[in-house]
Amino acid sequence: MTTLDLAMATVVGGLFATGFFLLLDRSLMRILLGVIVLGHAANLLLILSGGAPASPPVTGSEGPDGRLADPLPQAMALTAIVITFGITTLLLAMVHRAWQLDGHDEVRDDVEDRRIGTVHDRAEERAAAESDLPADRGERR
Amino acid sequence: MLTLLGVHLLVALLLPLLAGRYRRAAWLLAVLVPLAAVVWAGLWTGRVLDGHVPQETLSWASVLQLELVLRLDSLSLLMVFVISGVGALVLLYGSGYFADGGREAGLLVGFAGAMFGLVTADHLIALYIFWELTSVISFLLIAGRGQGVANRKAAEQALLTTAGGGLAMLFGFILLGREAGTYRISQIVADPPATSGALAVAVVLVLCGAFAKSAQAPLSAWLPAAMVAPTPISAYLHAAAMVKAGVYLVARLTPALAEVQPWQPAVLAIGLLTMVLGAWRAMRQTDLKLLLAYGTVSELGMLTALLGAGGQTAMLAGEEMLLAHACFKSALFLTVGVLERSTGTRELHRLSGVGRSMPVVCGAAVLSVASMAGLPPLVGYLGKEAAYEAMWHADFAGRWWAVAGLALGSALTVAYCARFLWGAFAVKPGVERTPVERVPAVLVWPVCVLTAASLLLGVFYRVTGDLTVPYARSEHLVPDPAGPYEVSLWHGVTGPLTLSAAMIVAGLLLHAGRVWVERAQRRMPSLPDTQRGYEGTVNGLGRLAVWFTRHTQVGSLPVYLAVLLLTVIAVPGTMLLWYRPPLPDVTAWHSAVQVPLAVVILAAAVALVVTGHRLTAVLLVGAIGYGVAGLFLVQGAPDLALTQFLVETLTVVAVVLVLRRLPADFSPLRTEPRSLWFRVALATVAGVCVAALAVTATAVRQSLQLPREIIERAPETGAYNAVNALLVDFRALDTLGEISVLLVTVIGAAALLGRRGDGRGRPAGRRRRPGGRSRAAERFGEARWDVPREMWLPEALDVPRRERSLLLELVVRMLFPAVLVLSVYLLFAGHSRPGGGFAGGLVAGQAFVLRYLAGRSAEAAFPLPLTPRSVAGAGLVLAAVTALVPLAAGGTPLSSAQWYWDVPVLGSLHLATNVFFDLGVYLLVLGVCLKLLYALDRVRDAGDTLAPYGGPARRKAVT
């Protein structure tokens, strides 16, 4: 049975908390930093789940105790690091673009999202407005 | 059968293309396809009726029991005759009806094909697929092209009702398949599953689908609404084919499920109720087509009751009625089409004296209506007499109710039959004689053929009997207590015959007294309108969706993310507290080196939260990344540490290059303290949750067998580094997906970064500043102490003198080749030491980043005549080809081979084919780095004045 030591648990928890905090920000740049930190945290978690520190999983490099680290989480984390890099670049480009277009990198509330919820009210308003119009205009519609 | 199905599909796809130029040929071809099906079925008839059942299988995923099995037994044979026979005649009619109609012809043939598959499929799931196919094609046929709102609404209603019922039916099929242990219909019927609760649910769901498709009350509103479709389409879909799918399904499953409650009560009650209500409504219609539509609803109710009742005679009656209905109802629909074409109306109050002007059409219609009313010697009579007989002698509890319902329905049927004839052809006092135009003979022929079929099938009743008796005598159906019923025109004077005759008289009386009947109908309280029910349901669903959207879709990203985090805390967090897994002995740390690293990481994290300065924040994130890389090294993951270092460096460079454009500080915090504290609390609790999960997850890990085996078997791939073996061999498909994702994201990023502030980008990547010095260089002409005098890097000459640095140029000049060599070394060393394609590619990429930093020009930094695109693309192609080559050699994709050579001077050489895969990864990563570099170059180039982009998107966002 393997155990996670307290120091590493603290680091993982601290990194996740930092990442979550930054993610909840309205500045896209801080969200980007939050994503990077969360990436680190997740990779670290993957690796730590492979067990206590050991020798690299290369045949012939066994240490005095003959233990080798688990290669599977390492391969997964390697994949994750590269994907995180890809996402970072994409978000970075979005930060830049947002700044270029709006002069800031804040994530504002999505007005269209809210408008969807009022679709019926607006349809009724329109219907009411149309019924006020003279009959011939209504027909032409 | 499979060939016929394929031909239907092929011709359906071909017709729209063909009809543009060769209209006549296209329609002829369209007629030939269902005709071929009829001929084919005719050739098989003798053998099928002798009990031989041809069967064809197209196996797809046999492990999942998913296969297309087509089977032709006597019921399927009957249905094929109905569908393809009527189909051929309707298409013939359509060739005279539609002006061009390549689309309609194609869809009709496709529909005929789908119906053909539906009635021959011997697999529940295949049947479902054909079923929904007919729903979709009927939607397209009813909606037409550019036909206006009414058509679209009717089509939508038909689709929603039938496809919704179809979904319920699918669930029913799955339940049924699980209970029976097979999805093959023939096997389910041969060995019906034992009655159980799940089976009862399955029965209800399957019946829902069948009732929706066959327009049974209360789901019947879509059928009259669909009468906006052109007449041939109504004649085919709503008389012969689509609505028959529901009753076919009932007939098909009755032998297996009639004993299961609530099958029998449901089909009898709903079927007979629909029969009476439909006929009652039909009597009020003034539009001849609507009259027929309600009549169809009524007939379908009768068919459902008969085919689902579970007795042999009832099944026989149902089959005969099905055959009869297809003949007379299609003929009558087509007659209405002829009337409409020749007189311009189908309102019965405006038609007068048409019978005298069109004697042939009138004669045919009279015969068809007689069949509908059940008069001898037409086929409708055979069906109706058998129906009375079946209910009269049935042995279930409420049989007299059934007889009463049948009798009432028949009387009303006779009444609307008379109303149809009177309305269409009679001379009406007070109405001007309707002028009649000649119609092409091709419109009249199909009507005559269908009517002749009604007559011949009645007169030669033995043929009808031969076609229908085999299925009706299935072993699981209840035999008639009065002995097997023989199909005949005359059985002597019996109770059922007397009742039938009485009901015909009653119906005629109802028609004669139509003025009083109409008055009575108007005075009666109106029945609940199913159409209004449908509209209410659809509107209610819409409102519910909007209400739900309004309360969940608030448009604020932090709110959405907070909800996600709360879910993380609520679900796994409470589970964790609930189960409280035993905590193992916890140590403070495994290795002392971890402690300083942990301190550095946590300190940087805290500083990151507090800082308001962008550059500081980026550097702090970099510090965290390097710290984590250090922890990787401690954990025994040098590959990971290497990649992490490289990626972190690249990230920091990229972010800093973009940051130069952005303000130095974050926008000042405008959040209220309360929400800030909420964020802090939420993030902290979520972090604690994850940490607790991490501790528990690692503690419960038990199997260590897998890693050992991976390490032991890594040398089989030619690699001694197990991580590398995993990446390029064991999990190479993942790697292939990963590099594709990487490429896609960077292409997206480059596209966003490359856009200019003014929206007018220069041609991507093809930029060369005119030789000599830039404007900036001229402006800041004076030199600094370390401006190089020699040409260390050719591209650095373009950099303003003030900004050049001897140290940087010298170092880059010396390091660049060495770094490239290192990258190639890492690529090949990956097999036995830390390294590999990712690390190698990143190192190579960073070599070019270095040159870029010194020379400020991406193209000069990468002077080869290649674009980053082609490098990355070549990498992806190489990796993909390496993955696929083993397939050509007969192996499995992504497997690798190895060779060993003894070369005299160099020693032993070893080649594993997966090194090419790794090379692909290397090239792709290098290309991605270069792509990013080019994009960043354009960011720098985009100029200082970033006017808002003036495209339409922007304008829309403003308004």
Q: Which helix (H) or strand (E) holds B135?
A: helix B124-143
Q: Which of B750, B832, B954 sits opposite A58 (nearest CB)?
A: B832
Nearest to B727 among A12, A68, A78 (CB): A78
Predicted local distance difference test score (pLDDT) of residue B644: 93
pLDDT tens digits, one per residue of B536-590? 888 898 889 888 888 888 888 888 899 999 998 888 888 888 877 666 667 778 8
Question: In this predicted model, what pLDDT tens digit does every residue of B438-490 receive, in sequence order?
Answer: 888 888 999 999 999 999 998 898 888 888 888 888 888 888 877 788 888 78
Q: Please judge whether A117 and B658 are an interchain contact, meaning their C-beta atoms are less than 8 angstroms apart.
A: no
What whole-number distance in Å separates Cα of residue A58 and Cα of residue B826?
Answer: 15
Is residue B22 very low, low, confident or very high in pLDDT (cuts 50, 70, 90)? confident
Band (pLDDT 50/70/90 cuts) for residue A137 is: very low
Could you report the per-residue pLDDT of B376-385, keeping only the tens digit for each? 888 999 889 8
pLDDT of residue B919 exceeding 80, the answer is: yes
Q: Is the dihedral of CA B902, B908, B912, B916 positive or negative?
A: negative
CA distance readout (Å), B613 to A29, B474, B617, B666, B668? 11, 84, 6, 6, 10
Is the pLDDT score of B64 beyond 60? yes
Kindly report the pTM of this predicted structure.
0.70
- For every residue of B825-849, DSSP letters joined together read HHHHHTTTSS--HHHHHHHHHHHHH
Residue with the larger pLDDT of the pair B959 and B882: B882
Q: Do B688 and A17 touch (CB under 8 A)?
A: yes
Chain centroid offset of residue A103 CA: 23
Closest Cα of chain A to B810: distance in Å? Answer: 30
- The strand ranges marked E within B843-929 are 898-903, 907-912
Domain ranges for chain B, please list them. 2-527, 528-580, 594-665, 716-757+786-944
A26 neighbourhood in chain B, CB within 8 Å: 557-558, 671
Q: How many CA atoms lie within 13 A of B618 on its CB side?
A: 22
Torsion sign (Cα): B180, B183, B187, B189: positive
C-alpha distance across the termini of chain A, in Å: 75
Percent of chain B topping pLDDT 70: 91
What whole-number distance in Å separates Cα of residue B574 and Cα of residue B571? 6
- Residues B521-533: tens digit of each pLDDT: 888 776 667 778 8
Pairing state between β B66-71 and B898-903: unpaired
What is the model's pLDDT at position B789? Answer: 67
CB atoms within 10 A of CB B785: 5
Q: Where are the domains of chain A?
A: 6-108, 110-141
Q: Chain B: give the shortest CA distance to residue A140, in Å.
A: 15
Is the predicted pLDDT of residue B945 greater than 60, yes or no?
A: no
* Banded pLDDT at B777 (limits 50, 70, 90): very low
Distance from CA of A43 to the nearest CA of B (A): 9
Distance CA B124, CA B128 (A): 6
In sequence order, the β-bridge partners of residue B900 are B910
CA distance, residue A19 to nearest chain B CA (Å): 8
> Does residue B110 contact residue B12 with C-beta atoms inside 8 Å?
yes
Q: Which residue has the higher pLDDT, A3 or B163?
A: B163
**Least confident range of B87-91, B540-544, B627-631:** B540-544
Residues 749-788 of B with CB under 8 A from A: 749-753, 755, 757
Give the pair of three-digit tokens for residue B949: 């982009």
Given a contact cutoff of 8 angstroms between Cβ atoms, the answer to whether B289 and B231 are in contact is yes
Local confidence band at B954 (pLDDT 50, 70, 90 cut-offs) = very low
CA pair distance B955, B946, nearest whole angstrom: 16
Residues of A in contact with B694 (CB under 8 A): 4, 9, 12-13, 45, 48-49
pLDDT of residue B203: 93
Contact: B588, A96; criterion CB under 8 Å: no
Cβ-defined contact of A49 to B697 (cutoff 8 Å)? yes
Q: How many CB pairs under 8 A join A and B?
A: 345
Among B608, B698, B954, the residue with its CB nearest the CB of A48 is B698
Task: Supply the DSSP string of B181-241, one letter for each residue.
Answer: T--BHHHHHHSPPPP-HHHHHHHHHHHHHHHHHTT-TTS-THHHHGGGS-HHHHHIIIIIS
Q: Which two tokens stand for residue B571?
A: 């679900």
Q: State mean pLDDT over A33-53.
A: 88
What's the fold here for domain A6-108?
Helix Hairpins (1.10.287)
Is the pLDDT score of B776 beyond 50?
A: no
The reported pLDDT for the residue numbered B712 is 79
Does B729 have pLDDT greater than 70?
Answer: yes
Helix (H) or strand (E) holding B59: strand B55-61
Assess whether pLDDT exceeds 60 at residue B175.
Answer: yes
Residues of A in contact with B149 (CB under 8 A): none
Q: Kindly report the average pLDDT of chain B as a whole number.
A: 84
In chain A, what percentage of residues exceed pLDDT 70? 87
CB B72 within 8 A of CB B469: no
Q: B86 pLDDT band (50/70/90 cuts)? A: very high
Distance from CA of B671 to the nearest CA of A (A): 9
Residue B672, pLDDT > 80, answer no
Selected residues 577-636 of chain B with any CB under 8 Å from a CB in chain A: 584-591, 594-595, 598, 601-602, 605-606, 608-609, 614, 617-618, 621, 624-625, 628, 631-632, 634-636
CB contact under 8 A, A16 and B686: yes
pLDDT in tens, B360-369: 999 999 999 9
Q: Can you state the angle between helices B197-213 and B149-180, rounded to 10 degrees?
A: 160
